[in-house]
Amino acid sequence: MTMSPDHDEQRGRLAIIACEILKPELDKLTVGWDDIVYKEYFEFALHINADELRERVLEKVNSLHGQVDAVFLGYAVCQSLSGITSRLKVPTVMLEGDDCIAAILGPVEYERQKRLCGGTWFNTPGWALRGIEGAIKELHLDSMVEQGYEPKYFLDMLFENYELCVYVDTDVGEAERYEEMSRKFADELGLRHENRPCGTTNLARFLDRARELARKSASGPQ
């Protein structure tokens, strides 16, 4: 994605680098934000290769040094990003939690939901869009194809210990479409399905923090 030339210097220049799983939420939250001068979504499931995700983030954010005042990093720890902000050349705000579900629900609520039913798969709109193929990639079962196996066979085995699929409704529009996709996913794997309204409050909090960081960085030392 190219840099936008239009921005208000006093508001700061903000970049968004995020996983495409969060695209529905982030696009909704940032409608009309003219201080965003760069936005890029990385393909989902990069965290499967921890080194690759870490290097991609480092390379991209550091390449924006001098071009933006702050970065919103739309990733949680995701197995490889703990402490990464200390290695970035641009002031950066990232999400809290182990993964994107924790970032959306909040770590405390995420743990509470998992305690209600240990064998739970969580679908957000971004995950619901990807369906069974998304789960296969997330669980690194696509590598089975190269070995001559059918990934769905192993997926069914892995999901024998799952009971529930929770659709985390982040209120990004097209609710019926996303929930229908989530229900289809649950049906294919023999899981009960529930809808858990959530919204985007947690994501908005970190976006606002990044926006304020951009403003402060643009205005220089206080």
DSSP label at residue 119: S
Q: What pLDDT digit, counting tens, does each position of 41-81 carry?
A: 999 989 888 899 999 999 999 999 999 999 999 999 988 89
Give the residue-averaged pLDDT of 167-180: 95
- Whether residue 7 is contained in a domain is answered as no
What's the rounded Cα separation, in Å, for the pair 67 and 90? 9
Q: Taking the alpha carbons of 182, 188, 191, 193 in that order, is the dihedral positive or negative?
A: positive
Q: Are residues 175 and 205 in the same domain?
A: no
The CATH number of the domain holding residue 23 is: 3.40.50.2300
Percent of the chain with pLDDT over 90: 79
Is residue 136 domain-shared with residue 210, that is, in the same domain?
A: no
- Residue 4 placed within a domain: no
Asked if residue 134 lies in contact with residue 19, where contact means CB atoms within 8 angstroms, the answer is no
- Split into its structural domains, the chain has a count of 2
**CB environment 106-124: b (16+ within 10 A), e (fewer):** bbebbeebbeeeeebbbbb
| Structure token digits, residue 108 | 């405390």
Write down the pTM of the prediction: 0.89
Residue 2 lies in a domain: no
Q: Tens digits of per-residue pLDDT, 130-151?
A: 999 999 999 888 877 677 778 8
Backbone Cα Rg of the chain: 18
Amino acid 95 reads L
Q: Are residue 55 and residue 111 in the same domain, yes or no?
A: no
In DSSP notation, 171-188 reads --S-HHHHHHHHHHHHHH
Same domain, 51 and 92: yes
Domain extent for 150:
103-197
pLDDT of 2 higher than 50: no
As a whole number of angstroms, the distance between CA 188 and CA 167 comes to 15
In the prediction, which pLDDT does 52 show?
93
92 lies in some domain? yes
Q: Are residues 213 and 170 in the same domain?
A: no
Q: Are 187 and 159 in contact (CB under 8 A)?
A: no
Residue 4 confidence (pLDDT) above 70: no
Is residue 159 domain-shared with residue 90, that is, in the same domain? no
